[in-house]
Structure 1
Amino acid sequence: MTEFGALLKYLRTSRHITQAELSHNLISRDTVVRIENNHQNPSFETGIQLLERLGISLSDFDKQRSITNPTSFSNLTQKFLYQLNSSGDRKTLTDVNKLARQIYQEEGNFTARNIMLVTEAMEKIDDWNFNLAHIQELRKLLQPVWSNLAQIDEWCMLDLRILDCSLFFFDLETAHAIMQHAFRIIDKKYPTLAGLKAAFSANYCYLLILNRQIKAPFVELAESRKIASQTGRYDLVIVADIRRLVLEQLPNYKTNIKHKLSVLTNLGATGLVESLKKEVQAILDR
């Protein structure tokens, strides 16, 4: 994030700390120079350590960024995560896309570019309904996202969220590799994001269904349901149940699906309910 360096420099100089003092036994002074001049972005962990040396918490740093720049990257990430966590309305999605586009055009921020492309794909898939032909078309739009993140071994939390919500736009082989690598990173670095493993698994299951993988979805749905249950993602437990019902099409399956959708509605997951209705219809229309 290019704004990080400018604000880091401001905080450092206001505390009368030299670049050599800030970098001591952590990174080289030259690296600090490159960061402050927006020629290099630190890793998430290094950025946190630099802020700690300045006596600044990450939350305080984000607040400072929002004050000094209302179109800051932190504002974008907050709105993007709100959209994902709350299944926000179409207007929120459009606002996130516009802000991401503005930041990318002004700063060349690749994460902003990734959010811009992902939200654009989400907007279009909402207009078109879910089906394999549309997903394959949007795959081309999102290719730069994967080209960027495929070069990074250790995805940060935001990278993981970007990949999760765009997983079903990838081909099966790529999606499976992304999911498995995401699982390893979550287990290693972000155990508190265990629920995100359930989301990755749920998205991969739907991609299998769209690709008409007859046996694989039932195996993956069972695993997805297990992960969702273990991590407290009971909304995704219901998603797995609904997908199994529509695949099996046993007697009264439509009544059972309607009941489970009503449970999700009562949980306040109205955005998820609308998406599932489209999914169910897309599966039935195959």
Structure 2
Amino acid sequence: MTEFGKLLKYLRTSRHVTQAELAHNLISRDTVVRIENKHQSPSFETSTELLEKLGISLSDFDKQRATYNPTSFSKLSQLFLYQLNSSGDHQTLEEIKELAHMIYQKDSNMTARNIMLSVEAMLQIDDQDFDVKKIKELRNLLRPVWDDLSQIDEWCMLDLRILDSCLFFFELDTAREIMHHAFRIIDKKYPTLVGLKAAFSANYCYLLILNRKIKPPFIEVMESRKIASQTGRYDLVIVADIRLILLEQDPDYQSKINHKLDILSDFGAKKLVTSLRREIKTILAS
């Protein structure tokens, strides 16, 4: 709570509110002094009421905290989630990895450690062909992530995004277990993240394709397409269509795939198009 007191003082003074005015009808002025000087941690209820008196919601406070303290875990979370939802670049990933490393060293924050490792895997994949050999090389790097999260029954939103971002690197059985458990948690706790189910399914299908030994995973890719359609992830519907074209070994596959890629480009999904071109090359070479 020391960070709360420090930022509370900053927000109070920037609004020209005195300690007495903030404390009025809530707590004593001396308590405000102790909180701001990091000598006392307020309860959650008191914290909320203090912020309300300054005209700040909890979500707004979290955003302010990330801006005020550039090395905060909140800042790391926002950067990581933004990276997953945007085009991003190598430099941004390096910044996220460095910040995660700093926070992990300072606070032994396991989520920061997990973000650091998953981003390191992303960086290495960005620099290499994405094939089974590379996946196996990076599997050991990410093993600590699963060792940590496999001990937790109820993953939070950030845990889910971390696992989805590195699902490629797990053994097939482990990836399937992660995906189905993630589905249960999303249905139970995070219905607004229903689109993430499509992402898990799409990533799992690519892993199946890369590891296919007996038969192509048509059924799984069709199921992935269905989930993407039901959750409004039409970009992932097109991903599934492209994979089906490749699995069917259609003689006219190139023109059909180019048509699908053009649609994605029109959507503005340039990063996805780049990733798919690399995926197509990898699948055809396997």
Q: Which bracket does the TM-score occupy, shorter chain normalised?
A: 0.7 to 0.9
In 1: Cα distance, 2:116 partner to 2:123 partner? 11
Change (3 A) 1:178 1:53: farther
Larger mean Cα displacement after TM superposition, 124-133 or 97-106:
97-106
2:161 is aligned with 1:165: no
Which residue of structure 2 lines up, in the alignment, with residue 121 of structure 1?
A: 121
Amino acid at match of 2:259: H
In 2: Cα distance, 1:216 partner to 1:241 partner? 14
Larger mean Cα displacement after TM superposition, 120-129 or 6-15:
6-15
Which residue of structure 1 lines up, in the alignment, with residue 3 of structure 2?
A: 7
Amino acid at match of 1:242: I
Question: Quick check: 1:51–1:58 contact (8 Å CA) kept in 2?
Answer: no
CA deviation vs aligned residue, 1:247-266 (integer Å, no higher than 9, x gap): 11112111111111111111
In 2: Cα distance, 1:220 partner to 1:87 partner? 27
2:240 is aligned with 1:268: no
Tell me by how many angstroms 1:205 deviates.
0.2
Change (3 A) 1:50 1:187: farther
CA deviation vs aligned residue, 1:81-103 (integer Å, no higher than 9, x gap): 11110131222122211211122
Alignment of 1:232-243 (within 5 A): 232-243=232-243
**Identical aligned residues as a percent:** 63
CA deviation vs aligned residue, 1:69-118 (integer Å, no higher than 9, x gap): 11211111111111110131222122211211122122221111111100
Question: Quick check: 1:114–1:145 contact (8 Å CA) kept in 2?
Answer: yes
In 2: Cα distance, 1:174 partner to 1:100 partner? 25
Which residue of structure 1 lines up, in the alignment, with residue 61 of structure 2?
A: 61
TM-score normalised by length of structure 2: 0.82
Question: Quick check: 1:51–1:57 contact (8 Å CA) kept in 2?
Answer: no
Which residue of structure 1 lines up, in the alignment, with residue 247 of structure 2?
A: 247
CA deviation vs aligned residue, 1:162-195 (integer Å, no higher than 9, x gap): 0001111100010000000000000000000000
Tell me by how many angstroms 1:215 deviates.
3.7
Which residue of structure 2 lines up, in the alignment, with residue 229 of structure 1?
A: 229
Question: Quick check: 1:71–1:99 contact (8 Å CA) kept in 2?
Answer: yes
Structure 2 residues without counterparts, runs of 5 or longer: 10-18, 28-40
In 2: Cα distance, 1:51 partner to 1:147 partner? 35
Larger mean Cα displacement after TM superposition, 75-84 or 189-198:
75-84
Tell me by how many angstroms 1:125 deviates.
0.9
Q: How many residues align?
A: 257
Structure (1 or 2) with the larger CA radius of gyration: 2
Question: Quick check: 2:7–2:68 contact (8 Å CA) kept in 1?
Answer: no
Tell me by how many angstroms 1:60 deviates.
2.0
Tell me by how many angstroms 1:51 deviates.
5.7
Question: Quick check: 2:132–2:210 contact (8 Å CA) kept in 1?
Answer: yes
SS in 2 for 1:232: coil
Which residue of structure 2 lines up, in the alignment, with residue 180 of structure 1?
A: 180
Larger mean Cα displacement after TM superposition, 203-212 or 50-59:
50-59
Change (3 A) 1:172 1:269: same
Change (3 A) 1:105 1:126: same
In 2: Cα distance, 1:249 partner to 1:90 partner? 34
Larger mean Cα displacement after TM superposition, 231-240 or 84-93:
84-93
Amino acid at match of 2:3: L
Q: CA RMSD in A?
A: 2.5
Which residue of structure 2 lines up, in the alignment, with residue 279 of structure 1?
A: 279
Change (3 A) 1:213 1:223: farther
Change (3 A) 1:10 1:201: same
In 2: Cα distance, 1:186 partner to 1:50 partner? 31
Amino acid at match of 1:82: Y
Question: Quick check: 1:205–1:217 contact (8 Å CA) kept in 2?
Answer: yes
Amino acid at match of 1:7: E
CA deviation vs aligned residue, 1:203-222 (integer Å, no higher than 9, x gap): 00001011115546211111
